[in-house]
Amino acid sequence: MVTRLRLLDDAAWVSVDDTREAGTSEVWPVADSFCSCELTWFVAEAYVEVGADGRRVEARARGHCVTCGEAGTTDWLAVGRVTDDGFEPASGTRGSRRGSPASGCRGEC
Amino acid sequence: MPTDVERWKDEVYGEEIRGHLFEFAEAGWDAIPDEEHDAWFERFKWWGLYHQRKGQESYFMLRIGTPNGVLEPGQLETVAEVADEYARGPADNPEFGAAYCDWTTRQSIQLHWITLEDVPDIFETLEAAGLSTKQACGDSWRNIVGCPVAGKDTHEHVDAWPVAEELHETFKGDDDYANLPRKWKVSVTGCDQGCGQGDINDLAFEPAERDGELGFNVRLGGGLARKEPRFARDVDVWVPEEKVTDVAAAATELFDDYGDRENRYNARMKFLVDEWGAEKVRSVLQEEYVDWELESAGDDLREQYTYNAGGDEHGDHVGVHQQPDGNYYVGLNVLVGRMGVDDVAELAALADEYGSGEVRLTQRQNVVVTDVPEATLDDFLAEPLLENYSPDPHPFMRGSIACTGTEYCSLSIVETKNRQVRYARWLKDNVDVPEGVTDFHVHLSGCTASCAQPQIADVSLRGMKTRKDGEPVEALDVGLGGGLGEHPRFADWVEMRVPADEVPGYIRNLLEAYVAEREERDVPEDRRQRDGDAVEYETFREFVARRDEDALQGLADPEETSYEDPYMHNTKTTWYPYADEDDLDASPAPTDGSGEPLSVDD
């Protein structure tokens, strides 16, 4: 299965198979060492990279923790999964990993 | 490796997009192959069509580029007719109704809820009136901006309107300049007040004199987007009026050749000027792009610039002003730049009845009716329409600018226009305007793209998110003290992630601090009025400029007040923020050309 992944609209959206699926502006709980907060509440201002491992779509995003203000770029975070019925956005607390997904797109495509 | 956008542009771009657009219009929205949506939506921008955001699939924003903001007699009437017939969507806006026009900060016009199926008829109607959407968006020459009263202004140094007109005629539709690495924004200023806002454009022509001859100095690499604001850099070039088009062509070719096509983040001219420096830009321009000796910069007029310069001389074009021919132009305030179609039609009729029929758009989202004779001026000013679009508005109404926001825009993080309307009304009703302040600019931009030009306002508001009472809410970063003039200055970002419902309270507290702490100073003798008043207050911009970051942060706190904000939830995850049922699942989009919902599986 080939999934078309792009960053669109000044990297405000992850496009999955030509549909805007994951946008910036949401506040995500992130269990990570992004900042010194026990749980980071991360607001994504722009995506930096998007990639896929099989059906799992991941992205790195630039933004900051709305609690402490720490700004930067995340490691790879899940943004959703491609299912037989379409894209299913990630929910709940997100973990991160440093390794890159198998396929990806860096910067606005 | 070329980006997808560059690859798509290589395949089809510029004028040739029109044929495809019309084929899709004939066949219907769902004729666009699913796997080609991203490519076609990117290309359609060149013809002024932006696909609206998630939840509004199959609907487009349509932008009409009006060079220098000039709408010739009859054109505004056509715009009103098009908006009335085609810019109606499945839900109304609670402040502005079912159909409206937006005047933008680049002197253009935006309509929403346009369907692909209607595009051929819309283009035919607009083009019959001499209007076009060509290159209103996309990677090419955008709408050329300038002093909105060029040719009608007593402060004029050079009449910039014929210059802007020639640039428009030359660079719109020329295949050699149709596909640039990124957008290319150009400004031409002819007056001595700086109304063209050249400092925030990729290419700026500003009035200057050399060896007694009037012409323009050239600046390159300005822009506000992406938290990377730059003022255009002086490249030490002066051009006489007859060479402006040649220099513009040379600068565009330089950008075409050297702009970064592999990284769209880095593609704007400002980054090339950062990398090279002004001196190298000039030498490459000289050596590779012109076949005559460029002249060094002439004497500019920047020390006379009063437009958005922080004082109260000339913050905008609102009000009644005499033209050199003895007639008057009347600038009318349009709160957040949006007018209902009935009001637009009425404005067109009044311009025809009292003036020459010409109407102009300003970079502060306002309108100017020109050529009103003195004999009928009072009758015009007494027209009921001017009660809502006043030539003498309250300072908080006058200073308000807002971008499109999450109502339609994919980039925005927060709701903007309706919120800014509510802010302005609340401030007017609840906050005393400090003595001596006639102009106070509050610009609200939904994201870092900065379409509302927040960095050059007294109070800059930029969309953000935060958590309040455990819930994510819409918020704004707040900056202070930006503006243009001889010494342009970007706002200092002072308060971050302020919940949107606490911003009006913050502005109230801020102005109270300004009133309490501002300094008095002697008025220079040449500026004293006949009443002998020899003392004045420092301007808000000066007040901000002489404080460091800590002092600015200590000036005021955000605060809840009687202001109520109905848009605190994540408006970007609605299909339309003002719909009764606003969940994405309740969206009727995509629809066919007649508004009937299409199954996504069709």
Q: What is the pLDDT of residues B510-537, one digit of tens each?
A: 999 999 999 998 887 777 766 666 788 9
Nearest CA in chain B to A63: B464
3-class SS at B369? strand
A41 neighbourhood in chain B, CB within 8 Å? 467, 472
Q: How far is CA B313 from CA B142, B309, B428, in A?
A: 30, 9, 22
**B5 vs A18, A19, A109: nearest CB:** A109
Say what the pLDDT of residue B2 is. 81
pTM beyond cutoff 0.90? yes
B4 to A20: CB separation less than 8 angstroms, yes or no: no
- In whole angstroms, what is the distance from residue B41 CA to residue B25 CA? 13
Q: Is B466 on the interface with A (CB under 8 A)?
A: yes
**Which member of A6, A19, A24 has the closest CB to residue B413?**
A24
Nearest CA to CA, how far is A99 from chain B (Å)?
22
Angle between helices B244-258 and B161-171 (to 10 degrees): 40
Distances (CA, A) of B95 to B98, B100, B338, B429: 10, 10, 10, 18
Residues in A touching B449 (Cβ below 8 Å): 10
The pLDDT tens digits of the residues spanning B86-139 come to 999 999 999 999 999 999 999 999 999 999 999 999 999 999 999 999 999 999
What is the rounded average pLDDT of the residues B557-564?
A: 98
**End-to-end Cα, chain A, rounded Å:** 20
Cα–Cα dist B180/B13, whole Å: 11
By residue count, chain B amounts to 602
- Give the pLDDT confidence of B372-428 residue by residue, as tens digits: 999 999 999 999 999 999 999 999 999 999 999 999 999 999 999 999 999 999 999
A27 closest CB neighbour out of B53, B225, B465 = B465
Give phi and psi for B459, each to the nearest 5.
-120, 120
pLDDT digits (tens, 9 = 90+) for B423-472: 999 999 999 999 989 889 999 999 999 999 999 999 999 999 999 999 99
CA distance A54 to chain B (A): 19
Distance between CA B200 and CA B194 in Å, rounded?
12
Q: What is the DSSP letter of B336?
A: G
B-interface mutation test, from A13, A47, A66, A103, most B Cβ less than 10 A away: A66
Contacts of A92 in chain B (CB under 8 A): none
DSSP string, B271-320: HHHHHH-HHHHHHHIIIII-SSPPBPP-EE-GGG--BTSSSSSBSSS-EE
Tokens read off for A86: 């379409």
**Average pLDDT across chain B, whole number:** 95
* Model confidence band, residue B574 (pLDDT cutoffs 50, 70, 90): very high
For a pLDDT cut of 90, what percent of chain B falls above it? 92
Does the distance separating the beta carbons of A108 and B3 come in below 8 Å? yes
Neighbours of B546 (CB within 10 A): 11
pLDDT digits (tens, 9 = 90+) for B287-318: 999 999 999 999 999 999 999 998 866 668 99
Q: Does A88 touch chain B (CB under 8 A)?
A: no
What gap in Å lies between CA B571 and CA B421, rounded to an integer?
17
ipTM above 0.95, yes or no: no
* pLDDT tens, per residue, chain A with 109 residues: 678 999 998 899 999 999 999 998 889 999 978 999 999 999 999 999 999 988 999 999 999 999 999 999 999 999 999 999 889 999 899 887 777 777 777 666 6
**Predicted local distance difference test score (pLDDT) of residue A29:** 94
Report pLDDT for B602.
45
* Cβ contact B472:A27 at 8 Å: yes
B447 at the A interface (CB within 8 A)? yes
Question: DSSP secondary-structure letter at B500?
Answer: G
* Whole-angstrom distance, CA of residue B14 vs CA of residue A72: 37
Instruction: Report phi then psi at B213, rounded to 5.
Output: -105, 140
Confidence of residue B47 (pLDDT cuts 50, 70, 90): very high
